[in-house]
Amino acid sequence: MAGVTEFNSNSNSGTLIAKIRKRDGRIVNFEQSKISNAIYKALVATGKPDYPLAERLAAKVVQKMVQGEKSVIPSVEDVQDMVESILIEEGLSETAKAYILYRHERRKLRDEKMKILNKRDLDEVDKAFDINSLRVLAARYLLRDSNNEIIEGPKQMFERVATLVAIADVLHDPAVFNLAGGHTQSIEEAERYYAKLDDFDNKLHIGDYYLNKYHFEAMIRHYIHCAQQGQMKVSFKELLRMIAENKMAQYEEQIKTYYNLMVSRDFLPNTPTLMNAGARLGQLSACFVLDMPDDMAGIMKSSTDAAMIFKSGGGVGINYSDLRPEGDIVASTSGVASGPTSFMRIIDTITDVVKQGGKRRGANMGILEAWHPDIEKFVTAKTKPGVFENFNVSVGIWEDFWQALVNKEGNHKYTLRSPRSREPVRQIDAQQLIDLIALSAWRSAEPGVIFFDNINKYNPLINARHGPLRATNPCGEQSLYPYESCNLGSINLANFVKRKADGAYEFDWQRYEQAIRLATRFLDNIIDMNKYPVEEIKVATKETRRIGLGIMGIADLLFLLKIPYNSKDGYEFMNKLAEAVSYLSMDESVAIARARGPFPMFKDSDYVKGRIPVAGYYELPKETHTYDWDTLVEKIKKYGIRNSWTSTIAPTGTLSMIADTANGVEPVFALVYEKRVTVGRFFYTDKVFESMLKENGLYNDEILTKIANNYGSVRGLPEIPEWMQRIFVTAIDIHWTDHVMAQAVWQKWISNAIAKTINMPGDVTAEDVKCAYLLSHELGLKGVTVFRDGSRHEQVLHITGKNTGEKAFAVKPSRYIADYVSTNIKEPYVLEQMQKIFKESGVEEEKPVPKEIPLQEIPAAPKKPAPQPAVPQMAMMDADEDRCPTCNARLIITEGCNVCIECGFSGCGSG
């Protein structure tokens, strides 16, 4: 129930109540609708969902108060006392009891929030965020003093981030910035201000927002960069004078815009930005890739750079394929090379001892390409527990391996080559290698597979000096060149719904476009405001200006819209959402380029030839496109584009907890799961699902227990109506082929890649894993991570219980994916393997969700629960399992990363 805190009476009772006194003493407008909402939620809690009754009761509350102390501004407590009195007078004793209990719980909640935030009072942002979000923010994001005491609240955190982002807009104001260049300013004058940071701490302001010394430092840094390009029309002193004289005060509104974008949780930037913007470290990027050359000086340089990145809050991806294989002769010493995995141990050790930003361990991606002579050793490197625990590992596959794999003549020979000379070393069977990769992933969830041929298919920089992309960030969704970094952020799709007159939800496409455009500018500004941990990273990042705008909350959005995830409607809707992200972000990037210039390597890129890194533009029929891509391509050729790539779907484990929504593009892991603690037990329930249960009179502990024991799913439960079973699907309800299909739908339009886990039940075979690779490649995925339940020795969250026996429901591929494969897969070998999968498992025919939900179909909740199987092992793991380094709770695998469902820790660096 919403707290009765601010009211603005619409009462017709004569004298109006205009104001109310809040708990902190502030006087604010009185809103009668808040009383109606609170009463309605009490009615819902007691099985009487009657909003007109709630409005009548609220009117009586106002009438009674008007008749009472007319000259006194009532307090929140006065109003709540009157609500209790009216409920009792109306004979609604159970509702009154629920309301009283709610008041008590709200009081406890306020006290807990103040304790978490180390505050005596709560502001509007503290109140808007739930307790779990605040715990995450307090544990990892809010600034602390030397005694480790929290010294800012969420509001102040978002203000420092928004202020930093807006400084980039100030420095590109036409009064001080000229894209054409030709201006000469004193760099030395600006540099002298680095020694005066403390003197300027909170001295200058833009409207009501003061610049702390780290904001000031970032302003100096970017001013110098622009001045070196000859683009600053004024000296640094003149810029300071203009700010001091409030000539830049108009940017206060821009700060508010960025602030509201985050506080509303419509969009959140990656974790390092929230942690470090306007703070000492100042490092705002999530993703980095380092080179690993075959010489000791280069290896040590990369190792040192990795340590600096971990210290600043980032994760690292490294391709080890240029290192000579184990046993190879080292000419300079006549010694023997120890091989790529030995040098991975160096990075693994560094990761153990250097915490990211002092708050979490780093994350790594280790890559070896399929042609490397040590590939078999690499594939099996993580099958033993405790090896390379700070690494995700992936095999890099190119077109030549793929051709050997699917060879029609049955000749699957594949040549392994020397990293130094590229001369042949020996031949292996490509089928045997893919079988080994699949078996290893079946056993241990590693390695993943990266399809470098798909990554580079539409790479606009492949013909520039960098050549093909050969490495990714730790979770594989972000391909990067050596020393390049990326700034990521995610739009919360579940926020972009509006209610129609009939009470149903629809998607707000206009607000979605506004958020995409604003978030694109936000992320582009981050590149300018960033304090890079290594000089080479600054240079490489500004050359390409790559950003990664993505999404989270797709599962909750589909729940609200009553669209099944793995359905024709679901896939078509996700296709439309994905196209919008890339088109609108690229269109906005062109607009930014017109004012600030394209990314520096634009003139050397294939963009000038009209090529763009978006597969859907080429591979999906133009008549199915929502947007006019041809016109956009012409605009890019004419004006350039600010960012070489604009869209990425990153892991959002922590950000999703802050935003109180579902992770990335993943379906929910479980609708309900039980947590047992020393004081008892309680359920985690998806918020949209919980609301639906309550609206339909199905919410009770017996139902929650039964769902928790059914793998967190409602499939096959007679108490849950069929339409609800169709809508509220979980990861385990969806066949692995549909997981691949969902990722492929997004990948058609996303210019970078996607972090997603292809979930598989424990009873799949290694052949299923292999087929997942085959299907993924043919559908255009850039990489794939497979997770079979039970595949990790130290798995921390199991879907199955110890005594659950056989599943109560069967999971089959959807008719959509079966038809799509038959129509679109042209490679005979892959098509043959997939047809076997469909024949063995069967295909689930799609049952449409009724437009009008028939409430009469909902059966009454059982009075006595049937005997239940044991609680799933997700709450009962052995003591040696992998635990969160922040709060020591259990981790789960999602989006290819270890994620803590307690505090939001993510094993990947993006969020």
Q: How far apart are CA 874 and CA 581, in angstroms?
A: 35
pLDDT band per the 50, 70, 90 thresholds, residue 388 = confident
Which range, of 234-248, 385-399, 428-442, 786-800, averages the lowest pLDDT? 786-800
Q: How far apart are CA 616 and CA 894, in angstroms?
A: 26
- Three-state DSSP class for residue 502: coil
Q: What DSSP letter does each residue of 765-834 carry, written as one string? A: -HHHHHHHHHHHHHTT-SEEEEEETT-STT----SSBTT--S-SS----BHHHHHHHHHH---HHHHHHH
Q: What DSSP letter does each residue of 653-666 carry, written as one string? A: HHHHHHHTS--TTP
pLDDT reading at 868 higher than 70: no
> Residues 213-244: pLDDT tens digits?
999 999 999 999 999 999 999 999 999 999 99
CB 478 within 8 A of CB 753: yes
Q: Return the pLDDT at 873.
A: 31
- Three-state DSSP class for residue 704: helix
> Residues 118-158: pLDDT tens digits?
999 999 999 999 998 999 999 989 999 999 999 999 999 99
> Residues 805-837: pLDDT tens digits?
345 678 999 999 999 999 999 999 999 999 999
Mean pLDDT computed over 567-579:
97
pLDDT reading at 672 higher than 70: yes
pLDDT band per the 50, 70, 90 thresholds, residue 796 = very low
Please tell me what DSSP assigns to residue 68.
S
pLDDT band per the 50, 70, 90 thresholds, residue 761 = confident
Q: Return the pLDDT at 428.
A: 97
pLDDT reading at 318 higher than 90: yes
Side-chain-side CA neighbours of 438 within 13 Å: the count stands at 18
pLDDT band per the 50, 70, 90 thresholds, residue 361 = low
- Among 555, 561, 554, which Cα is nearest to 577's? 554
Strands 27-31 and 19-21, how do they pair?
A: antiparallel
Q: Return the pLDDT at 270.
A: 95
Q: What percent of the chain has pLDDT over 70?
A: 86
> Residues 584-627: pLDDT tens digits?
999 999 999 999 999 999 999 999 999 999 999 999 999 999 99
At position 764, the amino acid (one-letter code) is: V
Q: Please tell me which residue, 174 or 75, carries the higher pLDDT value.
A: 174
Q: Return the pLDDT at 334.
A: 54
Q: How many CB atoms lie within 10 A of CB 253?
A: 11
CB 490 within 8 A of CB 268: yes
Phi and psi for 515 in degrees, rounded to 5?
A: -65, -40
Q: How far apart are CA 340 and CA 372, in angstroms?
A: 10
Q: Please tell me which residue, 900 or 539, carries the higher pLDDT value.
A: 539
3-state DSSP percent of the chain in helix, strand and coil, to 5: 45, 15, 40
Please tell me what DSSP assigns to residue 754.
B
Q: How far apart are CA 601 and CA 593, in angstroms?
A: 13
CB 572 within 8 A of CB 425: no
pLDDT reading at 315 higher than 50: yes
Q: How many CB atoms lie within 10 A of CB 568?
A: 16
Torsion of CA 164, 166, 170, 173, to 10 degrees: 150
Mean pLDDT computed over 259-268:
98
Cβ contacts of 864 within 8 Å, gap of 6 or more: none
* Integer CA distances (angstroms), 867 to 705, 709, 718, 800, 804, in order: 11, 11, 14, 17, 12
Q: Please tell me which residue, 351 or 179, carries the higher pLDDT value.
A: 179
Which range, of 19-28, 74-83, 881-890, averages the lowest pLDDT? 881-890
- Three-state DSSP class for residue 477: coil
Q: Please tell me which residue, 153 or 342, carries the higher pLDDT value.
A: 153
C-alpha angle 494/157/581, rounded to 5°?
A: 35
Which range, of 19-23, 389-393, 656-660, 778-782, averages the lowest pLDDT? 19-23
- Tokens encoding 248: 């830049």
Q: How far apart are CA 758 and CA 740, in angstroms?
A: 7
> Residues 510-529: pLDDT tens digits?
999 999 999 999 999 999 99
Catalytic residues: 473, 475, 477
Q: How far apart are CA 405 and CA 395, in angstroms?
A: 15
Q: Compute the residue count for the chain.
A: 911
pLDDT reading at 698 higher than 60: yes
> Residues 163-174: pLDDT tens digits?
999 999 999 999
Q: How many CB atoms lie within 10 A of CB 321?
A: 22
> Average model confidence (pLDDT) for the chain?
87
> Residues 92-119: pLDDT tens digits?
888 888 888 878 888 888 999 999 999 9
Q: Which helix (H) or strand (E) holds 593?
A: helix 568-596
* Integer CA distances (angstroms), 721 to 560, 725, 817, in order: 17, 6, 25
Strands 497-499 and 360-361, how do they pair?
A: unpaired
